[in-house]
Amino acid sequence: MTLTQLKPEVETIISNTNETVDNRLLSICQLLEQHVPYYNWVGFYFKNGDKDELKLGPYVGAPTDHTIIPFGKGICGQVAVSNKNFVVPDVTAQDNYIACSITVKAEIVIPIFVNGENIGQIDIDSNTPDPFTPEDERFLEFVCQKVSEIL
């Protein structure tokens, strides 16, 4: 399934009001991890109340110890501060990287905005070196925009 073909699937999940928000987010994680071969860990992080930190939300992939990430730390923490997409083709080239698994080679993080405020992000790890294209970025921006509608 191409990224374009996944868009209506994402919209169907988002519009299913019979499911909780967390269940819909988990379903999106599962959809992406199952249908994009180089998406090996897919999860959401959200601002943790009034604290300058992110808290792990629904995800699929290997368990992680990184359930809380301070703003500015790692790729996710940097996106929480910069409010910008962050594509990392090679995680070993990043000084401020939090390793979740030795198998991870690349990462992409896209912020989620609600009323202009960065309230969270989608985080994707890949075991493939440099797999993410501008098409991935646009697709994940679409996913985040759809997710923002239910938050």
Q: CB within 8 A of 91, min separation 6: which ones?
A: 75, 97, 99, 104, 105, 106, 107
Contact present, 61 and 138 (Cβ < 8 Å): no
Per-residue model confidence as pLDDT tens digits over 22-47: 999 999 999 999 999 999 999 999 99
pLDDT of residue 151: 96
CATH number of 3-148: 3.30.450.40
Q: Which residues of the chain have pLDDT under 70?
A: none
Give the whole-number percent of the chain exceeding pLDDT 70. Answer: 99
Domain positions in the chain: 3-148
pLDDT score, position 132: 98
β partners of residue 44: 122
* pLDDT of res. 87: 97
Q: C-alpha 131: how far from its chain's center?
A: 15
pTM confidence score? 0.96
- pLDDT of res. 143: 98
Residue 97: the pLDDT is 81
What is the residue-wise DSSP string for 34-71?
A: HH-TT--EEEEEEE-TTSSEEEEEEEESS--S-SEEET
